Amino acid sequence: MPPSSRLYLVRHCDVANPKRTLYGFLPGFGLSSKGIAQAEAIGQRLGGEPIRLIRHSPLQRAEQTAAIVARLVGSPPMIPDEDLVEARFSRYLQGVPYAQIPWRRPLWWVHMASPGLLRRDETVSAMADRVERSLGRLLDEVSGASGICVSHGDPIQAFWIRHTGRPNRALHRLQCAKGGQLALDYEGRRLTRITYVPPAVDGVPASPSRAVDVSEARRL
């Protein structure tokens, strides 16, 4: 029988961003006090799991989330992983306040209507592929135990829609909130089930959503 493993694909927690700027790849955007509490709640929730390794996007908000979680789950090794980095299109948007994006960055409309159509954009499939690569490395490293990948909204959602039979246009409709996570059950390297776990609210962990049988979703 292939080994059973559970991986956690975690979105970085809430960011200190008082000017409500699209931060993308910009430095200097660490976690807010709310984000720190969310990360601590994740660590406390997973404290009883056999977490062997944490891979994370090298961007500050993801690395800080990973470090807080690591401290609470036994201090496993942490490895920065470029495959978990933010969506490439955010480089075009970064530095602009959210409210000004539609008129200062008009290609945003094209991206929202058809992700990956623009040359400077990244296809949904490409984002899902790189998340899959990172998860595959993690599976090899923790086989039979558990591990964590910390990434960003669009790459996580690209992976999610791939495995739940949704079309690419669902990228911005399916929402893994900051501090949320996908619990992924594997038999060997075969993904069998996805469960979305919402972020904690005021430090209190939320209840997981209904698990999705991946084999059933792919038949839809």
What is the rounded CA–CA span in Å between residue 152 and residue 61? 9
Q: Is the pLDDT of residue 215 over 70?
A: no
Phi and psi for 121 in degrees, rounded to 5? -90, 180
Residue pair 89/118 in contact (Cβ under 8 Å)? The answer is yes
Domain-located, residue 97? no
- Give the chain's length: 220
Phi and psi for 182 in degrees, rounded to 5? -105, 120
Full domain range(s) for residue 177: 4-18+31-85+123-218
Domain-located, residue 109? no
Residue pair 93/61 in contact (Cβ under 8 Å)? The answer is no
Domain-located, residue 140? yes
What is the rounded CA–CA span in Å between residue 203 and residue 37? 6
pLDDT on residue 220 = 41
pLDDT on residue 130 = 98
Domain-located, residue 70? yes
* Per-residue pLDDT tens over the stretch 22-32: 999 999 999 99
What is the rounded CA–CA span in Å between residue 199 and residue 157? 15
Q: What is the CATH number of the domain that holds 193?
A: 3.40.50.1240
Domain-located, residue 103? no
pLDDT on residue 60 = 98
Question: What is the rounded average pLDDT of the residues 102-129?
Answer: 95
What is the rounded CA–CA span in Å between residue 11 and residue 142? 20
Domain-located, residue 39? yes
DSSP state of 100: G
Tally of domains within the chain: 1
| Coil, helix or strand at residue 128 | helix
Domain-located, residue 130? yes
* Per-residue pLDDT tens over the stretch 48-101: 999 999 999 999 999 999 999 999 999 999 999 999 999 999 999 999 999 999
Domain-located, residue 195? yes
More confident site: 212 or 194: 194
Per-residue confidence band for 219, with pLDDT thresholds at 50, 70 and 90? very low
Residue pair 212/185 in contact (Cβ under 8 Å)? The answer is no
Question: What is the rounded average pLDDT of the residues 196-206?
Answer: 79
Residue that is written with structure tokens 């891979």 in the block: 55
Query: What value does the mean pLDDT of the chain take?
Result: 93
Please tell me the pTM assigned to this model.
Answer: 0.94
Residue that is written with structure tokens 């990973």 in the block: 66
What is the rounded CA–CA span in Å between residue 81 and residue 150? 9
